Chains A and B, each alone.
Chain A
């Protein structure tokens, strides 16, 4: 059978299984939504109070509202949990049978991501639409061209965050603290990726540091594309260039970690 057919069949089966497992835990959808919603809502609440009737760093209340709803949606579409799962697999021996199969475990994780992101983002989208029906501030103008760009940015951001999460999880080959490293990354990302505030509100020094790293491309760039003001070609160019460069770097990091990690696993076992 042709490689395309083989891989389509493989991903089809894996996504299907992930989707079916997800379906079992119906109540967890509610939890998922609440989790994905509360952090941005709390941040919005604070900035709402600070902005008052004026604006902060160019953001008025309505701008903040749109921004944080954008964060909700883009985060749901790009967040990756694989570092925790990999850490568990490596420690509990669930990696063994996966290594004995002729399939790189990465694909299973990728398929899983696709399944739960579709579900999670779909739910957030419903929340946003519901909110938009009663709250004009969070409505977005109908703009298919912009949304096409956003889709691309989201896809690149999701891919990069996946590889970051996966590679960090692979650190479990060497340390029991892989999840701590991921939490450290998440903590830093709160600021540099724009979760706690739009990047324009950060102290200039911090914002410049952020631009040197991959964080803005994880979340802030797609969110600004979606909810921000104008769309200049300069902004688009620099944003996408940044995303592509960092995606390539993180894929390379993954490959290095996988090769070295397997070597180490073969030395000490699981």
Chain B
């Protein structure tokens, strides 16, 4: 079956003004501006089959959003090509745009001063959705996302989580086969994040939509995506199933501690690898399986004010995975 989303050696370069910090640098930039080329995306290739949920993972500035914008047709590639829903996104036009939904985490399409329902009506008109279909879809999306009391309140009165859910609903009214979501769970509380992940999963199950989301949260991956594309500094580092990634990398957990008086680094080091020690804060790395047991022992043996068990940050995951390979500094 043809891929829903395909990228071939996709690249994007930007020219950026360079400025030294501080007052002197600012004056210099005033009279002699300098530029350098930023290789935001470098020869990225992948294929996503219809109905897959794929997470684009990577730290800030890795190139995730730029790649997404190329797939959505907002930017054109500096090199390489891409094909989405059978179209070239840049030249696809209206026909292509009806097949996609683009939700950018930090900007919203909902009209701020009106109830979300008004934006829905607007989208209905834009995408030419038949009335009965529209009503059915609004009801269904409202059910799946829990929007019953929320749709007729002005958007500015909604919480961030409610807004994001309405934003998603508005984007899906025309039931596109392809969804591009840029940081959909950014800034949301845990329950809202959870609700959105469950919704996206259910949506895909029901309609076979292909979902590509960018994120820098590990939980987006574990709860939602069957496959991850890890991108860092414009390069695709890893493309594969989630289990393999977890098995390969996240073998450790981090214990983030706030310690009481009198704890030295040596005393802590007995329990695991000390990643950082700046009294009273410390970070300890322990094997995943032993995290709970070690925590218990720690709490019993040392004066611990606060303890939390965290996944290693995505940067560590990437570094760990590719300690052998490494990428050259630009």
Q: Are B74 and A17 in contact (CB under 8 A)?
A: no
Q: Are B124 and A13 in contact (CB under 8 A)?
A: yes
Interface size on B, residues (CB 8 A): 36
Residue A49 CB within 8 A of the other chain? no
Q: Are A93 and B90 in contact (CB under 8 A)?
A: no
Q: Are A21 and B128 in contact (CB under 8 A)?
A: no
Q: Are B97 and A102 in contact (CB under 8 A)?
A: yes
Given A14-B125, A102-B127, A269-B75, CB of A97 within 8 Å of CB of B94: no
CA distance A265 to B70 in the complex (A): 12
Residue B113 CB within 8 A of the other chain? yes
Point out the residues of chain B lying under 8 angstroms from A6, CB to CB. Answer: 125, 128
CA distance A103 to B126 in the complex (A): 7
Q: Residue-by-residue, is A242-270 near B (CB-CB < 8 Å gives 1, otherwise 0)?
A: 00000000000000000000000111111
Point out the residues of chain B lying under 8 angstroms from A187, CB to CB. Answer: none
Q: Are A96 and B98 in contact (CB under 8 A)?
A: no
Q: Which of A1, A9, A92 is close to B107, meaning CB atoms less than 8 Å apart? A: A92
Residue A148 CB within 8 A of the other chain? no
Q: Are A93 and B122 in contact (CB under 8 A)?
A: no
Point out the residues of chain B lying under 8 angstroms from A270, CB to CB. Answer: 74
Point out the residues of chain B lying under 8 angstroms from A21, CB to CB. Answer: 111, 113-114
Residue A183 CB within 8 A of the other chain? no
Q: Residue-by-residue, is B89-130 near A (CB-CB < 8 Å gives 1, otherwise 0)?
A: 010011101101111101101010110001101101111101
Point out the residues of chain A lying under 8 angstroms from B124, CB to CB. Answer: 9, 13
Q: Which of B15, B73, B95, B107 is close to A97, meaning CB atoms less than 8 Å apart? A: B107
- Least CB separation from B121: chain A residue: A13
Q: Residue-by-residue, is A6-20 near B (CB-CB < 8 Å gives 1, otherwise 0)?
A: 100110111011001
Point out the residues of chain B lying under 8 angstroms from A98, CB to CB. Answer: 109
Q: Which of B15, B95, B119, B128 is close to A1, meaning CB atoms less than 8 Å apart? A: B128
Point out the residues of chain A lying under 8 angstroms from B76, CB to CB. Answer: 266-267
- A85 to chain B minimum Cβ distance, whole angstroms, is 14
Q: Which of A24, A93, A269 is close to B113, meaning CB atoms less than 8 Å apart? A: A24
Point out the residues of chain A lying under 8 angstroms from B93, CB to CB. Answer: 102
Q: Which of A9, A10, A16, A266 is close to B74, meaning CB atoms less than 8 Å apart? A: A266
Interface residues on A, range: 20 to 34
Residue A99 CB within 8 A of the other chain? yes
Residue B214 CB within 8 A of the other chain? no
Q: Which of A9, A10, A102, A267 is close to B98, meaning CB atoms less than 8 Å apart? A: A102
- A232 to chain B minimum Cβ distance, whole angstroms, is 45
State the main secondary structure of chain B at its contact with A: mixed
Q: Which residues 35-51 of A have a CB within 8 angstroms of B?
A: none
CA distance A24 to B111 in the complex (A): 12
Q: Are A100 and B74 in contact (CB under 8 A)?
A: yes
Point out the residues of chain B lying under 8 angstroms from A26, CB to CB. Answer: none
Residue B14 CB within 8 A of the other chain? yes
Residue B259 CB within 8 A of the other chain? no
Q: Residue-by-residue, is B236-267 near A (CB-CB < 8 Å gives 1, otherwise 0)?
A: 00000000000000000000000000000000
Q: Are A269 and B14 in contact (CB under 8 A)?
A: yes
- Least CB separation from B96: chain A residue: A102
Q: Are A93 and B106 in contact (CB under 8 A)?
A: yes
Point out the residues of chain B lying under 8 angstroms from A94, CB to CB. Answer: 107
Question: Which of A1, A21, A99, A101 counts the most chain B CB atoms within 10 A?
Answer: A101
- A113 to chain B minimum Cβ distance, whole angstroms, is 17
Residue B168 CB within 8 A of the other chain? no
CA distance A252 to B134 in the complex (A): 37
- Least CB separation from B112: chain A residue: A21
Q: Are B107 and A101 in contact (CB under 8 A)?
A: no
Q: Are A96 and B125 in contact (CB under 8 A)?
A: no
Residue B66 CB within 8 A of the other chain? yes
Point out the residues of chain A lying under 8 angstroms from B107, CB to CB. Answer: 92-94, 96-97
Q: Which of B69, B113, B122 is close to A13, meaning CB atoms less than 8 Å apart? A: B122
- A59 to chain B minimum Cβ distance, whole angstroms, is 44
Q: Which of B15, B94, B122 is close to A17, meaning CB atoms less than 8 Å apart? A: B122
Residue B53 CB within 8 A of the other chain? no
Q: Are A97 and B75 in contact (CB under 8 A)?
A: no
Point out the residues of chain A lying under 8 angstroms from B125, CB to CB. Answer: 6, 9-10, 12-14
- Least CB separation from B100: chain A residue: A100
CA distance A192 to B109 in the complex (A): 39
Point out the residues of chain B lying under 8 angstroms from A266, CB to CB. Answer: 74-76, 90
Q: Which residues 69-95 of A have a CB within 8 angstroms of B?
A: 92-94
Q: Which of A10, A99, A268 is close to B126, meaning CB atoms less than 8 Å apart? A: A10
Q: Are B126 and A101 in contact (CB under 8 A)?
A: yes
Q: Are A100 and B114 in contact (CB under 8 A)?
A: no
Point out the residues of chain B lying under 8 angstroms from A93, CB to CB. Answer: 104, 106-107
CA distance A17 to B126 in the complex (A): 13
- A268 to chain B minimum Cβ distance, whole angstroms, is 6
Where the two chains meet, the residues of B that have a C-beta atom closer than 8 Å to any C-beta of A are 14-15, 66, 69, 72-76, 90, 93-95, 97-98, 100-104, 106-107, 109, 111, 113-114, 118-119, 121-122, 124-128, 130
Which 4 interchain pairs have the tightest Cβ spacing?
Answer: A102-B94, A13-B125, A100-B102, A102-B97
A-B contact pairs, 18 of them (CB 8 A): A13-B122, A17-B122, A20-B118, A21-B113, A24-B113, A92-B107, A94-B107, A96-B104, A97-B103, A99-B73, A102-B94, A102-B95, A102-B126, A265-B75, A266-B75, A268-B14, A269-B14, A269-B69
Sample of 14 more A-B contacts, CB < 8 Å, known A17-B122, A96-B104, A100-B101: A9-B124, A14-B122, A14-B125, A16-B121, A17-B114, A21-B111, A93-B107, A94-B107, A96-B74, A100-B100, A100-B102, A102-B93, A268-B15, A269-B14
